[in-house]
Amino acid sequence: MVQCTILTVEDEPAISDILRVNLGFAGYDVISTSNVLQAENLIKTSIPGLIILDWMLPGASGPTFAKRLRNDKRTQNIPIIMLTAKALEENKIEGLNAGCDDYIVKPFSPKELIARIQAVLRRRLPELTEDVVSIFGLFLYPATRTVIGNTQEITLGPKEFKLLHYFMTHTDRVLSRIHLLDQVWGDHVFVEERTVDVHVRRLRKALTSTGFHKLLQTVRGGGYKFISEKTHQSFP
């Protein structure tokens, strides 16, 4: 199971407990908050893998918070599942229009919630699923934390593995150091940008014997880019 932190925003303690127990049992790290302000403070330092959001909360409402997250470049890609007692069609439409990826009505089945979380993560954050990723002859197996390049096993440290997983699921775009800190380290405040360079260097070194280091390019003044077969058909 790939590590994923789920942030819950729920002011009803009984439901918050059900979420914490069931999500924890399913293997997720859970951070529970009871209002938007608390959730916002946490997100300032660390981006969660997914948010379970109640609608009626003290202070700002769930949809207001979802809109705020979608309007901020740093948080716009966090998957959000709205979990609410509001069951009307117009509520669902409003929730989805606010930027939520899914909408679940209370009372809910914890099993269904977990299935929906997995579906949203598969769609939105492929680096947090166990799906095998491959580019050319480079294969990454999240379930066993194995990387095979041209039939040769490549040994990587935990951070390099996570970094490669993120690169391979986000190819052909420039990824800034801050973006990588947020997405791979989950923290862009306390970790320095040059940490990214250190781990990229280690990753490249590990990939060199198979030639796949060529797919990981440095973009001057921008960050890093991982090339897929779509844009680099002649490789290797």
Q: Which two tokens stand for residue 169?
A: 């699921």
Site stretch for Ca ion (CB under 5 A), options 4-12, 32-40, 118-126, 128-136? 4-12
- Total residues binding Ca ion (CB under 5 A): 3
Site stretch for Ca ion (CB under 5 A), options 54-62, 91-99, 144-152, 153-161? 54-62
Answer yes or no whether residue 11 interacts with Ca ion by CB under 5 A: yes
Cβ nearer to Ca ion, comparing 10 with 102: 10
Cβ nearer to Ca ion, comparing 34 with 77: 34
Least Å distance between CB 52 and Ca ion? Answer: 12
Cβ nearer to Ca ion, comparing 85 with 119: 85
* Distance between CA atoms of residues 113 and 19, nearest Å: 9
Site stretch for Ca ion (CB under 5 A), options 6-14, 18-26, 137-145, 206-214? 6-14
What Å distances lie between residue 43 and 7, 17, 34, 36, 144, CA to CA? Answer: 9, 21, 14, 10, 30
Residue found by looking up tokens 């899914």 in the block: 102
| One of 6, 19, 48, 54 touching Ca ion (CB under 5 A) | 54
What DSSP string describes 175-215? Answer: B-HHHHIIIIIS-SSSS-HHHHHHHHHHHHHHHHTTTGGGG
Q: Which two tokens stand for residue 52?
A: 């379970």
Least Å distance between CB 92 and Ca ion? Answer: 17
Cβ nearer to Ca ion, comparing 86 with 177: 86
| Exposed e or buried b per residue across 177-192, where buried means at least 16 C-beta atoms within 10 angstroms of its C-beta | bebbbbbbbbebeebe
How many alpha carbons lie under 13 Å from residue 213 in its C-beta half-sphere?
14
Least Å distance between CB 200 and Ca ion? Answer: 43
Answer yes or no whether residue 56 interacts with Ca ion by CB under 5 A: yes
- Interface residues with Ca ion (CB under 5 A)? 11, 54, 56
